[in-house]
Structure 1
Amino acid sequence: MRYYVLDRGDQLSVDLSETFHKLAPQYGLQLDAENPDIVVSIGGDGTMLHAFHTFIDRIPSIAFVGVHTGHLGFYADWKSDEIPELVRLMGNQGEMDQIQPRIVRYPLIELEIVKKSGTSSIICLNEFTLKSVDGTVMAEVDINDQVFEMFRGDGICVSTPSGSTAYNKSLGGAIIHPTIEALQISEIASINNRVFRTMGSSLVLPAHHHCDIYSRKEQNLMLTIDHVSMPVDDLISVRCQVAKQKVSFVRYRPFPFWTRVRNAFLG
Protein backbone atom coordinates (compact mmCIF):
# COMPACT_ATOMS: atom_id res chain seq x y z
CA MET A 1 0.00 0.00 0.00
CA ARG A 2 1.51 3.31 -1.13
CA TYR A 3 0.41 6.48 0.64
CA TYR A 4 1.02 10.19 0.76
CA VAL A 5 0.11 12.69 3.50
CA LEU A 6 -0.78 16.31 2.86
CA ASP A 7 -1.27 18.45 5.98
CA ARG A 8 -2.56 21.98 6.55
CA GLY A 9 0.75 23.27 7.88
CA ASP A 10 -0.31 24.26 11.41
CA GLN A 11 1.58 22.67 14.30
CA LEU A 12 -1.07 20.09 15.20
CA SER A 13 -1.46 18.92 11.61
CA VAL A 14 2.32 18.74 11.12
CA ASP A 15 2.70 16.72 14.32
CA LEU A 16 -0.03 14.30 13.23
CA SER A 17 1.61 13.94 9.85
CA GLU A 18 4.92 13.03 11.51
CA THR A 19 3.13 10.52 13.74
CA PHE A 20 1.56 8.91 10.68
CA HIS A 21 4.95 8.59 8.97
CA LYS A 22 6.52 7.02 12.07
CA LEU A 23 3.77 4.40 12.41
CA ALA A 24 3.33 3.61 8.71
CA PRO A 25 6.34 1.25 8.21
CA GLN A 26 5.12 -0.99 11.04
CA TYR A 27 2.05 -1.81 8.93
CA GLY A 28 3.75 -2.13 5.57
CA LEU A 29 2.74 1.30 4.27
CA GLN A 30 5.17 2.90 1.85
CA LEU A 31 5.47 6.65 1.35
CA ASP A 32 5.11 7.55 -2.32
CA ALA A 33 4.66 11.19 -3.32
CA GLU A 34 4.33 10.40 -7.04
CA ASN A 35 1.99 7.40 -7.27
CA PRO A 36 0.14 6.85 -3.99
CA ASP A 37 -2.82 4.51 -3.68
CA ILE A 38 -4.28 6.62 -0.87
CA VAL A 39 -3.82 10.30 -0.08
CA VAL A 40 -4.35 11.25 3.57
CA SER A 41 -5.50 14.82 4.15
CA ILE A 42 -4.80 16.18 7.65
CA GLY A 43 -6.48 19.50 8.40
CA GLY A 44 -9.86 20.77 7.23
CA ASP A 45 -11.95 20.72 4.10
CA GLY A 46 -9.59 23.27 2.51
CA THR A 47 -6.76 20.78 2.95
CA MET A 48 -8.81 18.11 1.20
CA LEU A 49 -9.47 20.48 -1.71
CA HIS A 50 -5.72 21.16 -1.89
CA ALA A 51 -5.02 17.40 -1.89
CA PHE A 52 -7.61 16.84 -4.61
CA HIS A 53 -6.09 19.44 -6.93
CA THR A 54 -2.53 18.32 -6.16
CA PHE A 55 -3.40 14.88 -7.58
CA ILE A 56 -6.03 16.03 -10.06
CA ASP A 57 -4.28 14.23 -12.93
CA ARG A 58 -4.52 10.91 -11.07
CA ILE A 59 -8.07 11.13 -9.69
CA PRO A 60 -9.29 7.86 -11.31
CA SER A 61 -6.53 5.77 -9.72
CA ILE A 62 -6.30 7.08 -6.14
CA ALA A 63 -8.56 7.47 -3.10
CA PHE A 64 -8.66 10.02 -0.30
CA VAL A 65 -9.18 9.87 3.45
CA GLY A 66 -9.47 12.88 5.75
CA VAL A 67 -8.33 13.57 9.32
CA HIS A 68 -10.10 16.53 10.93
CA THR A 69 -8.08 19.10 12.91
CA GLY A 70 -10.05 22.25 12.04
CA HIS A 71 -13.39 23.72 12.97
CA LEU A 72 -15.47 21.94 10.32
CA GLY A 73 -14.15 18.88 8.53
CA PHE A 74 -17.01 17.71 6.33
CA TYR A 75 -14.76 15.46 4.24
CA ALA A 76 -12.99 13.99 7.27
CA ASP A 77 -13.84 10.63 8.85
CA TRP A 78 -11.14 10.70 11.52
CA LYS A 79 -10.26 12.83 14.54
CA SER A 80 -6.78 13.91 15.54
CA ASP A 81 -6.44 11.28 18.30
CA GLU A 82 -7.34 8.42 15.94
CA ILE A 83 -4.21 8.41 13.76
CA PRO A 84 -2.88 5.08 15.16
CA GLU A 85 -6.19 3.33 14.42
CA LEU A 86 -6.30 4.76 10.89
CA VAL A 87 -2.74 3.61 10.14
CA ARG A 88 -3.52 0.13 11.49
CA LEU A 89 -6.63 -0.24 9.34
CA MET A 90 -4.86 1.03 6.24
CA GLY A 91 -2.04 -1.46 6.77
CA ASN A 92 -4.21 -4.44 7.66
CA GLN A 93 -6.86 -4.03 4.98
CA GLY A 94 -5.58 -7.02 3.02
CA GLU A 95 -5.76 -9.51 5.88
CA MET A 96 -8.57 -12.06 5.81
CA ASP A 97 -9.75 -11.22 9.34
CA GLN A 98 -10.16 -7.55 8.54
CA ILE A 99 -13.29 -5.94 7.15
CA GLN A 100 -12.50 -4.63 3.68
CA PRO A 101 -12.77 -0.85 3.39
CA ARG A 102 -15.58 0.58 1.32
CA ILE A 103 -14.83 2.93 -1.56
CA VAL A 104 -17.42 5.64 -2.14
CA ARG A 105 -17.36 7.68 -5.35
CA TYR A 106 -18.75 11.18 -5.56
CA PRO A 107 -19.63 13.21 -8.70
CA LEU A 108 -17.46 16.08 -9.89
CA ILE A 109 -18.13 19.07 -12.13
CA GLU A 110 -16.27 19.50 -15.39
CA LEU A 111 -15.78 23.05 -16.62
CA GLU A 112 -14.90 24.21 -20.10
CA ILE A 113 -13.72 27.82 -19.79
CA VAL A 114 -13.67 29.70 -23.09
CA LYS A 115 -11.74 32.99 -23.20
CA LYS A 116 -10.59 35.17 -26.07
CA SER A 117 -7.09 34.04 -25.14
CA GLY A 118 -7.91 30.33 -25.27
CA THR A 119 -9.92 27.40 -23.91
CA SER A 120 -9.19 25.27 -20.84
CA SER A 121 -10.88 22.41 -19.00
CA ILE A 122 -10.80 21.62 -15.29
CA ILE A 123 -12.78 19.62 -12.75
CA CYS A 124 -13.84 20.74 -9.28
CA LEU A 125 -14.75 18.89 -6.11
CA ASN A 126 -16.87 21.51 -4.31
CA GLU A 127 -17.99 24.38 -6.51
CA PHE A 128 -17.31 26.91 -9.20
CA THR A 129 -18.23 30.55 -8.69
CA LEU A 130 -18.28 33.51 -11.03
CA LYS A 131 -18.22 37.01 -9.54
CA SER A 132 -17.48 40.52 -10.71
CA VAL A 133 -14.41 42.42 -9.53
CA ASP A 134 -15.83 45.91 -10.04
CA GLY A 135 -19.63 45.80 -10.32
CA THR A 136 -22.43 43.38 -11.01
CA VAL A 137 -22.16 40.32 -13.22
CA MET A 138 -24.15 40.37 -16.45
CA ALA A 139 -24.56 36.91 -17.93
CA GLU A 140 -26.84 34.77 -20.05
CA VAL A 141 -27.56 31.32 -18.63
CA ASP A 142 -28.41 28.60 -21.14
CA ILE A 143 -29.54 25.09 -20.27
CA ASN A 144 -29.02 22.38 -22.87
CA ASP A 145 -28.23 25.01 -25.52
CA GLN A 146 -31.47 26.90 -24.94
CA VAL A 147 -31.57 30.40 -23.42
CA PHE A 148 -32.94 30.08 -19.90
CA GLU A 149 -32.44 33.46 -18.22
CA MET A 150 -30.55 36.76 -18.24
CA PHE A 151 -28.73 37.23 -14.96
CA ARG A 152 -27.55 40.36 -13.23
CA GLY A 153 -26.25 40.30 -9.69
CA ASP A 154 -23.22 39.53 -7.55
CA GLY A 155 -22.53 36.18 -9.15
CA ILE A 156 -23.37 32.54 -9.83
CA CYS A 157 -22.36 29.41 -7.93
CA VAL A 158 -22.38 25.93 -9.49
CA SER A 159 -21.82 23.13 -6.98
CA THR A 160 -21.37 19.38 -6.83
CA PRO A 161 -23.58 17.29 -4.51
CA SER A 162 -20.73 16.95 -1.99
CA GLY A 163 -20.13 20.70 -2.32
CA SER A 164 -23.81 21.47 -1.78
CA THR A 165 -23.11 21.78 1.96
CA ALA A 166 -20.53 24.54 1.40
CA TYR A 167 -21.05 27.95 -0.27
CA ASN A 168 -24.18 26.66 -2.01
CA LYS A 169 -25.90 26.11 1.34
CA SER A 170 -25.18 29.67 2.49
CA LEU A 171 -26.89 30.88 -0.69
CA GLY A 172 -30.05 28.97 0.19
CA GLY A 173 -29.34 26.02 -2.09
CA ALA A 174 -30.45 22.49 -1.33
CA ILE A 175 -28.28 19.83 0.31
CA ILE A 176 -27.99 16.96 -2.18
CA HIS A 177 -26.87 13.45 -1.33
CA PRO A 178 -23.55 12.81 -3.12
CA THR A 179 -24.72 9.56 -4.70
CA ILE A 180 -27.00 11.66 -6.92
CA GLU A 181 -25.19 12.56 -10.13
CA ALA A 182 -26.15 16.20 -10.55
CA LEU A 183 -24.98 19.78 -10.37
CA GLN A 184 -26.70 22.74 -8.70
CA ILE A 185 -26.86 26.35 -9.90
CA SER A 186 -27.42 29.00 -7.21
CA GLU A 187 -27.71 32.76 -7.61
CA ILE A 188 -25.66 35.23 -5.60
CA ALA A 189 -27.77 38.34 -4.89
CA SER A 190 -29.62 38.54 -8.20
CA ILE A 191 -31.36 41.70 -9.42
CA ASN A 192 -34.83 41.23 -10.86
CA ASN A 193 -36.57 43.89 -12.98
CA ARG A 194 -38.16 44.25 -16.44
CA VAL A 195 -34.83 43.59 -18.17
CA PHE A 196 -33.23 40.93 -16.01
CA ARG A 197 -35.43 38.08 -14.82
CA THR A 198 -34.16 35.03 -12.96
CA MET A 199 -35.77 32.08 -11.19
CA GLY A 200 -34.63 33.29 -7.78
CA SER A 201 -34.14 29.72 -6.61
CA SER A 202 -31.52 27.04 -7.11
CA LEU A 203 -31.69 24.72 -10.11
CA VAL A 204 -30.60 21.07 -10.03
CA LEU A 205 -29.50 19.54 -13.34
CA PRO A 206 -29.03 15.79 -13.90
CA ALA A 207 -25.86 14.24 -15.27
CA HIS A 208 -27.01 14.27 -18.90
CA HIS A 209 -27.75 18.03 -18.87
CA HIS A 210 -25.37 20.97 -19.08
CA CYS A 211 -25.47 24.71 -18.61
CA ASP A 212 -23.53 27.50 -20.31
CA ILE A 213 -22.84 30.85 -18.70
CA TYR A 214 -22.07 33.58 -21.27
CA SER A 215 -20.51 36.91 -20.33
CA ARG A 216 -22.74 39.59 -21.81
CA LYS A 217 -20.50 42.64 -21.45
CA GLU A 218 -16.83 43.48 -21.08
CA GLN A 219 -16.26 42.92 -17.38
CA ASN A 220 -13.53 42.03 -14.96
CA LEU A 221 -14.53 38.73 -13.42
CA MET A 222 -13.19 36.45 -10.71
CA LEU A 223 -13.51 32.74 -11.34
CA THR A 224 -13.08 30.55 -8.26
CA ILE A 225 -12.67 26.80 -8.66
CA ASP A 226 -12.81 25.21 -5.20
CA HIS A 227 -10.07 27.10 -3.30
CA VAL A 228 -8.31 28.68 -6.30
CA SER A 229 -9.32 32.10 -7.67
CA MET A 230 -8.29 33.62 -10.99
CA PRO A 231 -9.09 37.05 -12.48
CA VAL A 232 -10.43 36.99 -16.04
CA ASP A 233 -11.15 40.01 -18.24
CA ASP A 234 -11.82 38.23 -21.54
CA LEU A 235 -14.34 35.53 -20.63
CA ILE A 236 -16.64 34.31 -23.38
CA SER A 237 -18.39 31.40 -21.65
CA VAL A 238 -18.19 28.60 -19.10
CA ARG A 239 -19.82 25.23 -19.78
CA CYS A 240 -20.70 23.26 -16.63
CA GLN A 241 -21.62 19.58 -16.58
CA VAL A 242 -21.23 16.50 -14.41
CA ALA A 243 -17.80 15.02 -15.11
CA LYS A 244 -17.40 11.49 -16.43
CA GLN A 245 -14.87 10.68 -13.71
CA LYS A 246 -15.57 10.63 -9.97
CA VAL A 247 -13.51 11.17 -6.83
CA SER A 248 -12.99 8.20 -4.49
CA PHE A 249 -12.97 8.24 -0.70
CA VAL A 250 -11.96 5.31 1.52
CA ARG A 251 -14.38 4.41 4.31
CA TYR A 252 -12.80 2.17 6.97
CA ARG A 253 -15.94 2.47 9.11
CA PRO A 254 -19.52 3.62 8.53
CA PHE A 255 -20.05 7.38 8.42
CA PRO A 256 -23.38 8.04 6.61
CA PHE A 257 -23.79 11.31 4.72
CA TRP A 258 -26.74 12.50 6.77
CA THR A 259 -24.78 11.82 9.96
CA ARG A 260 -22.08 14.11 8.56
CA VAL A 261 -24.68 16.77 7.84
CA ARG A 262 -26.19 16.50 11.31
CA ASN A 263 -22.79 16.61 13.03
CA ALA A 264 -21.63 19.54 10.93
CA PHE A 265 -24.66 21.80 11.22
CA LEU A 266 -26.79 20.61 14.14
CA GLY A 267 -24.19 19.30 16.56
Structure 2
Amino acid sequence: MSQSPHEPVGEWWRDQVVALHRWGRLVLRDEDDSVHQMRVTVRRLRSVLATYRPFLDQERSEPLREELKWLGALLGEIRDAEVLRGRLRRWAAKHGPGPTSVDELRAALAERQSQGRELLLPELDGDRYRTLSAALATGLPWSEALPGKKALRKRLRRGWRRLTAAADAAEDAGDAAERHRRLHEVRKKAKRVRYAAESLREVFGKDAERLAKAAKSIQSNLGDLNDAAVMIGTIQLVPAPDEAVRELLAVEQAAADEAEKRFARVWKKANRPKAVGWLSP
Protein backbone atom coordinates (compact mmCIF):
# COMPACT_ATOMS: atom_id res chain seq x y z
CA MET A 1 0.00 0.00 0.00
CA SER A 2 1.42 3.41 -0.98
CA GLN A 3 2.04 6.00 1.69
CA SER A 4 -0.50 8.79 2.03
CA PRO A 5 1.06 12.17 1.06
CA HIS A 6 0.40 13.71 4.46
CA GLU A 7 2.38 11.03 6.28
CA PRO A 8 5.88 12.19 5.19
CA VAL A 9 4.92 15.69 6.35
CA GLY A 10 4.02 14.25 9.75
CA GLU A 11 7.38 12.48 9.88
CA TRP A 12 9.15 15.71 8.98
CA TRP A 13 7.23 17.45 11.77
CA ARG A 14 8.35 14.87 14.31
CA ASP A 15 11.97 15.33 13.22
CA GLN A 16 11.68 19.08 13.75
CA VAL A 17 10.18 18.63 17.21
CA VAL A 18 13.09 16.37 18.16
CA ALA A 19 15.49 18.99 16.79
CA LEU A 20 13.77 21.71 18.82
CA HIS A 21 14.33 19.77 22.04
CA ARG A 22 17.96 19.05 21.13
CA TRP A 23 18.76 22.66 20.32
CA GLY A 24 16.95 23.78 23.47
CA ARG A 25 19.28 21.69 25.59
CA LEU A 26 22.28 23.16 23.77
CA VAL A 27 20.97 26.70 24.28
CA LEU A 28 20.90 26.05 28.02
CA ARG A 29 24.57 25.01 27.75
CA ASP A 30 25.37 28.12 25.67
CA GLU A 31 26.70 26.05 22.76
CA ASP A 32 27.77 27.87 19.61
CA ASP A 33 25.02 28.41 17.02
CA SER A 34 22.39 26.80 19.25
CA VAL A 35 20.17 29.88 19.48
CA HIS A 36 20.26 30.30 15.71
CA GLN A 37 19.39 26.66 15.06
CA MET A 38 16.59 26.63 17.61
CA ARG A 39 15.13 29.80 16.11
CA VAL A 40 15.25 28.30 12.60
CA THR A 41 13.49 25.19 13.86
CA VAL A 42 10.76 27.33 15.43
CA ARG A 43 10.32 29.13 12.10
CA ARG A 44 10.04 25.84 10.25
CA LEU A 45 7.30 24.64 12.56
CA ARG A 46 5.39 27.93 12.36
CA SER A 47 5.68 28.06 8.57
CA VAL A 48 4.29 24.58 8.14
CA LEU A 49 1.37 25.35 10.43
CA ALA A 50 0.62 28.35 8.23
CA THR A 51 1.06 26.52 4.92
CA TYR A 52 -1.16 23.58 5.85
CA ARG A 53 -3.70 25.64 7.77
CA PRO A 54 -6.74 24.52 5.67
CA PHE A 55 -5.98 20.89 6.52
CA LEU A 56 -5.39 21.35 10.24
CA ASP A 57 -7.59 21.36 13.33
CA GLN A 58 -7.31 25.10 13.90
CA GLU A 59 -8.44 24.91 17.49
CA ARG A 60 -5.15 23.12 18.09
CA SER A 61 -2.91 24.57 15.39
CA GLU A 62 -3.55 28.29 15.97
CA PRO A 63 -2.53 28.23 19.65
CA LEU A 64 0.62 26.38 18.60
CA ARG A 65 1.43 29.12 16.10
CA GLU A 66 1.02 31.77 18.78
CA GLU A 67 3.18 29.93 21.29
CA LEU A 68 5.89 29.32 18.68
CA LYS A 69 5.76 33.03 17.86
CA TRP A 70 6.35 33.79 21.55
CA LEU A 71 9.33 31.41 21.67
CA GLY A 72 10.72 32.76 18.41
CA ALA A 73 10.61 36.32 19.74
CA LEU A 74 12.64 35.34 22.80
CA LEU A 75 15.22 33.61 20.64
CA GLY A 76 15.23 36.50 18.18
CA GLU A 77 16.40 39.02 20.76
CA ILE A 78 19.51 36.94 21.39
CA ARG A 79 20.12 35.96 17.79
CA ASP A 80 19.89 39.50 16.47
CA ALA A 81 22.53 40.60 18.97
CA GLU A 82 24.71 37.62 17.99
CA VAL A 83 24.53 38.54 14.32
CA LEU A 84 25.38 42.18 14.96
CA ARG A 85 28.28 41.28 17.26
CA GLY A 86 29.63 38.97 14.57
CA ARG A 87 29.50 41.72 11.96
CA LEU A 88 31.25 44.06 14.37
CA ARG A 89 33.99 41.51 15.09
CA ARG A 90 34.66 41.02 11.39
CA TRP A 91 34.93 44.76 10.87
CA ALA A 92 37.21 45.18 13.91
CA ALA A 93 39.49 42.37 12.71
CA LYS A 94 40.29 44.44 9.62
CA HIS A 95 40.78 47.71 11.43
CA GLY A 96 42.65 46.66 14.54
CA PRO A 97 42.09 47.53 18.21
CA GLY A 98 41.84 51.02 19.54
CA PRO A 99 39.58 53.03 21.82
CA THR A 100 36.69 54.42 19.80
CA SER A 101 32.97 54.83 20.23
CA VAL A 102 32.73 51.42 18.52
CA ASP A 103 33.45 50.13 22.03
CA GLU A 104 30.13 51.58 23.17
CA LEU A 105 28.36 49.72 20.41
CA ARG A 106 30.16 46.51 21.27
CA ALA A 107 29.21 46.83 24.93
CA ALA A 108 25.59 47.62 24.12
CA LEU A 109 25.26 44.54 21.90
CA ALA A 110 26.86 42.31 24.53
CA GLU A 111 24.40 43.64 27.11
CA ARG A 112 21.48 43.09 24.73
CA GLN A 113 22.54 39.47 24.20
CA SER A 114 22.99 38.92 27.93
CA GLN A 115 19.58 40.36 28.75
CA GLY A 116 18.02 38.17 26.09
CA ARG A 117 19.49 35.06 27.68
CA GLU A 118 18.27 36.17 31.10
CA LEU A 119 14.73 36.26 29.69
CA LEU A 120 14.96 33.05 27.68
CA LEU A 121 16.67 30.56 29.99
CA PRO A 122 14.05 30.55 32.77
CA GLU A 123 11.35 30.09 30.13
CA LEU A 124 13.09 27.01 28.70
CA ASP A 125 12.82 25.50 32.16
CA GLY A 126 9.28 26.74 32.76
CA ASP A 127 5.76 25.43 32.48
CA ARG A 128 4.86 27.38 29.34
CA TYR A 129 7.66 25.82 27.30
CA ARG A 130 6.96 22.36 28.70
CA THR A 131 3.30 22.69 27.73
CA LEU A 132 4.27 23.79 24.23
CA SER A 133 6.73 20.92 23.89
CA ALA A 134 4.12 18.39 24.94
CA ALA A 135 1.60 19.79 22.44
CA LEU A 136 4.13 19.72 19.59
CA ALA A 137 5.05 16.14 20.43
CA THR A 138 1.49 14.93 19.81
CA GLY A 139 2.10 15.47 16.09
CA LEU A 140 0.92 17.81 13.37
CA PRO A 141 -2.76 18.47 14.21
CA TRP A 142 -4.46 17.33 11.01
CA SER A 143 -8.18 17.72 10.62
CA GLU A 144 -10.34 15.04 9.03
CA ALA A 145 -9.80 16.64 5.58
CA LEU A 146 -6.36 15.15 4.85
CA PRO A 147 -4.60 16.58 1.77
CA GLY A 148 -3.56 14.65 -1.33
CA LYS A 149 -0.63 15.48 -3.61
CA LYS A 150 -2.70 17.81 -5.75
CA ALA A 151 -3.82 19.82 -2.74
CA LEU A 152 -0.28 20.00 -1.35
CA ARG A 153 1.12 21.20 -4.67
CA LYS A 154 -1.63 23.81 -4.78
CA ARG A 155 -0.52 25.15 -1.40
CA LEU A 156 3.05 25.45 -2.65
CA ARG A 157 1.81 27.19 -5.82
CA ARG A 158 -0.17 29.65 -3.69
CA GLY A 159 2.91 30.37 -1.60
CA TRP A 160 5.07 31.01 -4.65
CA ARG A 161 2.45 33.28 -6.19
CA ARG A 162 2.31 35.33 -3.02
CA LEU A 163 6.10 35.53 -3.08
CA THR A 164 6.01 36.70 -6.71
CA ALA A 165 3.41 39.34 -5.88
CA ALA A 166 5.60 40.60 -3.03
CA ALA A 167 8.63 40.79 -5.32
CA ASP A 168 6.60 42.75 -7.89
CA ALA A 169 5.41 45.13 -5.16
CA ALA A 170 9.00 45.72 -4.04
CA GLU A 171 9.98 46.57 -7.62
CA ASP A 172 7.20 49.18 -7.73
CA ALA A 173 8.12 50.84 -4.42
CA GLY A 174 8.25 54.61 -4.59
CA ASP A 175 11.28 55.21 -2.35
CA ALA A 176 14.19 53.34 -0.74
CA ALA A 177 12.58 52.98 2.69
CA GLU A 178 9.40 51.51 1.23
CA ARG A 179 11.40 49.20 -1.03
CA HIS A 180 13.34 47.86 1.97
CA ARG A 181 10.09 47.27 3.85
CA ARG A 182 8.63 45.40 0.92
CA LEU A 183 11.78 43.37 0.41
CA HIS A 184 11.48 42.32 4.04
CA GLU A 185 8.04 40.92 3.17
CA VAL A 186 9.60 39.08 0.22
CA ARG A 187 12.09 37.50 2.60
CA LYS A 188 9.36 36.32 4.96
CA LYS A 189 7.38 34.76 2.13
CA ALA A 190 10.50 33.10 0.73
CA LYS A 191 11.13 31.46 4.10
CA ARG A 192 7.60 30.10 4.18
CA VAL A 193 7.95 28.61 0.69
CA ARG A 194 11.33 27.15 1.54
CA TYR A 195 10.21 25.40 4.71
CA ALA A 196 7.03 24.11 3.11
CA ALA A 197 9.02 22.69 0.19
CA GLU A 198 11.51 21.10 2.58
CA SER A 199 8.67 19.36 4.39
CA LEU A 200 7.52 17.86 1.06
CA ARG A 201 10.80 16.42 -0.21
CA GLU A 202 9.56 12.89 0.37
CA VAL A 203 6.40 13.67 -1.59
CA PHE A 204 7.71 15.63 -4.60
CA GLY A 205 11.38 14.65 -4.65
CA LYS A 206 13.72 16.75 -6.81
CA ASP A 207 10.98 19.24 -7.65
CA ALA A 208 10.58 20.15 -3.98
CA GLU A 209 14.36 20.27 -3.50
CA ARG A 210 14.78 22.72 -6.38
CA LEU A 211 11.96 24.89 -5.08
CA ALA A 212 13.44 24.92 -1.58
CA LYS A 213 16.85 25.84 -3.00
CA ALA A 214 15.35 28.69 -5.04
CA ALA A 215 13.49 30.08 -2.03
CA LYS A 216 16.60 29.73 0.14
CA SER A 217 18.66 31.78 -2.32
CA ILE A 218 16.14 34.63 -2.03
CA GLN A 219 16.03 34.32 1.74
CA SER A 220 19.84 34.38 2.01
CA ASN A 221 20.23 37.41 -0.24
CA LEU A 222 17.58 39.40 1.59
CA GLY A 223 18.92 38.18 4.92
CA ASP A 224 22.19 39.93 4.05
CA LEU A 225 20.22 43.09 3.33
CA ASN A 226 18.27 42.80 6.57
CA ASP A 227 21.38 42.22 8.69
CA ALA A 228 23.06 45.29 7.20
CA ALA A 229 19.91 47.39 7.67
CA VAL A 230 19.57 46.35 11.33
CA MET A 231 23.23 47.13 11.92
CA ILE A 232 22.80 50.56 10.30
CA GLY A 233 19.86 51.32 12.60
CA THR A 234 21.87 50.22 15.63
CA ILE A 235 24.90 52.33 14.66
CA GLN A 236 22.71 55.37 14.22
CA LEU A 237 21.77 55.14 17.90
CA VAL A 238 25.36 55.76 18.99
CA PRO A 239 25.11 59.16 20.72
CA ALA A 240 28.52 60.61 19.76
CA PRO A 241 29.84 58.80 16.68
CA ASP A 242 33.53 59.26 15.91
CA GLU A 243 35.43 58.56 12.70
CA ALA A 244 35.56 54.81 13.32
CA VAL A 245 31.80 54.59 13.79
CA ARG A 246 31.21 56.67 10.68
CA GLU A 247 33.49 54.33 8.75
CA LEU A 248 31.61 51.31 10.07
CA LEU A 249 28.35 52.92 9.02
CA ALA A 250 29.68 53.46 5.49
CA VAL A 251 30.74 49.81 5.28
CA GLU A 252 27.28 48.61 6.34
CA GLN A 253 25.53 50.97 3.94
CA ALA A 254 27.69 49.63 1.10
CA ALA A 255 26.80 46.06 2.13
CA ALA A 256 23.09 46.92 2.12
CA ASP A 257 23.34 48.55 -1.30
CA GLU A 258 25.20 45.57 -2.74
CA ALA A 259 22.66 43.07 -1.37
CA GLU A 260 19.78 45.11 -2.77
CA LYS A 261 21.37 45.34 -6.22
CA ARG A 262 22.06 41.61 -6.17
CA PHE A 263 18.40 40.80 -5.55
CA ALA A 264 17.35 41.24 -9.19
CA ARG A 265 19.85 38.58 -10.31
CA VAL A 266 18.93 36.24 -7.48
CA TRP A 267 15.21 36.58 -8.19
CA LYS A 268 15.62 35.99 -11.92
CA LYS A 269 17.57 32.79 -11.29
CA ALA A 270 15.19 31.55 -8.59
CA ASN A 271 12.06 32.21 -10.67
CA ARG A 272 13.13 30.07 -13.62
CA PRO A 273 10.85 27.33 -15.00
CA LYS A 274 13.22 24.56 -13.88
CA ALA A 275 12.56 25.50 -10.27
CA VAL A 276 8.90 26.51 -10.32
CA GLY A 277 7.37 25.27 -13.57
CA TRP A 278 6.10 22.07 -11.97
CA LEU A 279 3.81 24.10 -9.70
CA SER A 280 1.53 25.01 -12.63
CA PRO A 281 -1.92 23.32 -12.64
Using the size of structure 2 for normalisation, the TM-score is 0.25
Higher-strand-fraction structure: 1
Higher-helix-fraction structure: 2
Using the size of structure 1 for normalisation, the TM-score is 0.25
